[in-house]
């Protein structure tokens, strides 16, 4: 068994790149003018760090995904310990921190950060700003359970009229395996009873099901349909 396969099987590996670029969109104009090494489907960046003890090779793909490897200069092999999430101290965490700094530089220079994971959630966010001049805030951004939750408030008193978050889809649809962005809205209770019988509408996730409803943001519902219910929610918040 190869060393890489042993590590991935024995430990809970995490992909640093996916976490950092999860909510970002590649700016093609910036990266095309950056002078990076081009290959068929993207760009390659190679750099030494930690006084030359390590080097990394990072691939930035045209579709926006980013992959990378860190190599130990002494033996030339990939340095896998930096991907062991349970290791929060020691030398490997220092290597990981330096690698993350390089990834964050790439994020800053060549990407546009998004608020949410799905395309539809970000389109809806833009529409909310267009109609109500409101941007989301993230009161639980540093907490595991709410890392992707964005609150839209009607006024300075903090009244919510919408909440977008990323959840496991099986919380809404039995046996669904992937995650999905959702939006919670405040509607009249009789309308909620009617809507939850339709595709794309669900009893409110983690909120009062009598007054709130969940709409899934996976293209099941059109943007036009969703924004109409957002307008109702805005009016229902007193």
Write the pLDDT tens digit of every residue in 21-79: 887 889 999 999 999 999 999 999 999 999 999 999 999 999 889 999 999 999 999 99
Q: What is the DSSP string of 76-95?
A: --B-GGGGBTT--SSHHHHH
Task: State the Rg of the chain over Cα.
Answer: 22
Write the pLDDT tens digit of every residue in 77-129: 999 888 876 656 688 889 999 999 999 999 999 998 788 888 899 999 999 99
Q: Burial-class residue 49 by CB neighbours within 10 Å (0-12, 13-18, 19+).
A: middle
Report the pLDDT value the prediction gives residue 53, as an integer from 0 to 100. Answer: 95
Residue from 21, 100, 123, 126 nearest 63 by CA: 21
Tally Cβ neighbours within 10 Å of residue 191.
13
Distance CA 113, CA 177 (A): 26
Residue labelled with tokens 């190869």: 2
Provide the CA 213 distance to its chain's centre, in angstroms: 23
Report the pLDDT value the prediction gives residue 61, as an integer from 0 to 100. Answer: 96
Residue from 168, 172, 153 nearest 215 by CA: 172
Report the pLDDT value the prediction gives residue 87, as an integer from 0 to 100. Answer: 59
Write the pLDDT tens digit of every residue in 147-171: 568 999 988 668 999 999 999 898 8
Is the pLDDT reported for residue 3 higher than 80?
A: no
Cβ-Cβ contacts under 8 Å for 6 (sequence gap 6 or more): none
Give the alpha-carbon dihedral of 207, 213, 218, 221, to 10 degrees: -170
pTM: 0.63
């Amino acid at each position: 068994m190869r060393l890489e396969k042993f590590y991935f099987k024995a430990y809970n590996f995490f992909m640093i790149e996916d976490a950092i670029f999860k909510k970002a969109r590649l700016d093609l104009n910036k990266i095309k003018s950056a002078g990076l090494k081009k290959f068929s489907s993207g760009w390659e960046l190679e750099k030494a760090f930690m006084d030359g003890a390590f080097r990394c090779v990072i691939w930035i793909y045209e579709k926006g995904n980013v992959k990378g490897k860190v190599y130990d200069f002494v033996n030339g092999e990939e340095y896998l310990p930096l991907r062991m999430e349970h290791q929060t101290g020691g030398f490997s965490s220092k290597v990981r921190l330096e690698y993350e700094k390089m990834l964050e530089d790439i994020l800053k220079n060549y990407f546009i950060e998004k608020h949410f994971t799905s395309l539809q959630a970000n389109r809806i966010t833009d529409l909310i700003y267009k109609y109500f001049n409101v941007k989301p805030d993230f009161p639980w951004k540093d907490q595991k359970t709410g890392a992707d939750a964005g609150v839209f408030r009607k006024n300075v008193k903090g009244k919510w009229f919408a909440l977008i978050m990323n959840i496991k889809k099986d919380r809404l649809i039995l046996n669904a395996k992937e995650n999905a962005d959702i939006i919670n809205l405040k509607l009249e209770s009789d309308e909620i009873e009617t809507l939850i019988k339709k595709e794309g509408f669900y009893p409110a996730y983690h909120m009062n099901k009598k007054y709130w409803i969940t709409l899934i943001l996976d293209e099941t519902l059109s943007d036009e349909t969703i924004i109409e219910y957002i307008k109702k929610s805005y009016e229902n918040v007193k």
